[in-house]
């Protein structure tokens, strides 16, 4: 079994952990952060608007929700009932995904201006039924999203996205929720946990446990 790895320190994917940011936050931020950033840019939500975020409590959703809330945007976030407190802690109003979703949102009496779907297509379909124009429905789902919605992924993030997020974290304006930390030898458990798709935030694997 390999016990070490050699990496060129000039590799563009390597970053130093800035002051005010923990290695854990920095290490879990990269792909989820850039994906959340790309979705936020594609949403282009204005302060005072309300955005529906599907899977608001996941790794991408936790970051996206905070970015939107910081920008003065109201967020309605989907999750299971077990995620409601976590979603609320990010600054969003929780709603439960599933068959009652449309009714729960309607009962809030809020006009939804845009939507981000981070899990399947339910949120995008709900948003369209609510009258959100398709060009304001953003998804990271590559597999069969509704026609006419906007598809993005982490590679669409602006080049300085990571640095902007790190600056926000170091000034206390953004947190990366870490649901669990596993040692290298627990790699399989970490993957099983992640693929459950019921994680609140990010999962980390560290050699230092
Ligand atoms: N995490 C990353 O670094 C990353 C980076 C780039 C792209 N992605 C992609 O982005 C998507 C989201 O990934 P993720 O890591 O944020 O989360 P994820 O692991 O895909 O999902 C976790 C979240 O999804 C919620 N969820 C589960 N079933 C749901 C449903 N039927 N409808 C709505 N929400 C549901 C869970 O809430 P409950 O626990 O309450 O059920 C949980 O908060 C995935 O497609 C992933 O491949 C992830």
User: DSSP string of 70-91?
Assistant: HTT-EEEEEE-GGGHHHHHHTT
pLDDT in tens, 96-153: 999 999 999 999 999 999 999 999 999 999 999 999 999 999 999 878 899 999 999 9
Q: Is residue 11 in a domain? A: no
Helix (H, G, I), strand (E, B) or coil at 144: coil
Query: What stretches in the chain show pLDDT beneath 50?
Result: none
Q: What is the pLDDT of residue 52?
A: 98
Q: Is residue 188 in a domain? A: no
Q: Is residue 201 in a domain? A: no
Q: Is residue 12 in a domain? A: no
CA of 198 from ligand 1 middle (Å) equals 7
Q: Is residue 136 in a domain? A: yes
Q: Is residue 96 in a domain? A: yes
CB 180 within 8 A of CB 40: no
Residue range of the domain that includes 136: 23-176
Residues 6+ apart with CB under 8 A from 136: 43, 113, 114, 115, 150
The pTM assigned to this predicted structure is: 0.94
Q: What is the pLDDT of residue 108?
A: 96
Q: What is the pLDDT of residue 1?
A: 67
Look up tokens 């870490």; give the residue.
178
Q: Which residues line ligand 1 (CB under 6 A)?
A: 31-32, 35, 54-55, 57-61, 78-80, 82-83, 97, 118-120, 122, 140, 154, 197-200
CATH of residue 40's domain is: 3.90.180.10
Task: Return the best residue to mutate from 63, 79, 87, 119 for the ligand 1 pocket (most ligand atoms within 8 A of CB).
Answer: 119
Cα–Cα distances (Å) from 148 to 16, 112, 137, 151, in that order, read 40, 18, 9, 9
Q: Is residue 113 in a domain? A: yes
Task: Look at ligand 1, atom 6, and give the residue with the nearest C-alpha.
Answer: 32
Q: What is the pLDDT of residue 5?
A: 80
Q: What is the pLDDT of residue 209?
A: 58
Domain count, the chain: 1
Q: Is residue 41 in a domain? A: yes
């Amino acid at each position: 079994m390999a016990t070490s790895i050699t990496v060129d320190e000039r590799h563009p994917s390597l970053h130093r952990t800035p002051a005010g940011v923990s290695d854990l936050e920095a290490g879990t931020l990269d792909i989820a952060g850039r994906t959340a950033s790309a979705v936020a840019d594609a949403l282009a939500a204005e302060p005072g608007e309300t955005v529906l975020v599907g899977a608001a409590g996941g790794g991408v959703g936790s970051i996206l929700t905070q970015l939107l809330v910081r920008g003065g945007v109201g967020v309605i976030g989907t999750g299971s009932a077990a995620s409601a407190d976590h979603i609320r802690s990010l600054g969003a109003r929780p709603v439960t995904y599933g068959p009652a979703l449309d009714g729960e949102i309607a009962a809030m009496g809020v006009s939804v201006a845009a939507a981000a779907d981070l899990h399947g297509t339910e949120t995008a379909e709900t948003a369209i039924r609510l009258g959100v124009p398709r060009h304001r429905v953003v998804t990271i789902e590559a597999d069969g999203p509704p026609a006419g919605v906007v598809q993005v992924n982490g590679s669409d993030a602006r080049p300085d996205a990571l640095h902007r997020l790190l600056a926000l974290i170091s000034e206390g304006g953004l947190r990366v929720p870490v649901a669990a930390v596993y040692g290298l030898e627990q790699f399989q458990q970490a993957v099983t946990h992640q693929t459950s798709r019921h994680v609140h935030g990010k999962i980390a694997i560290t050699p230092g446990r």
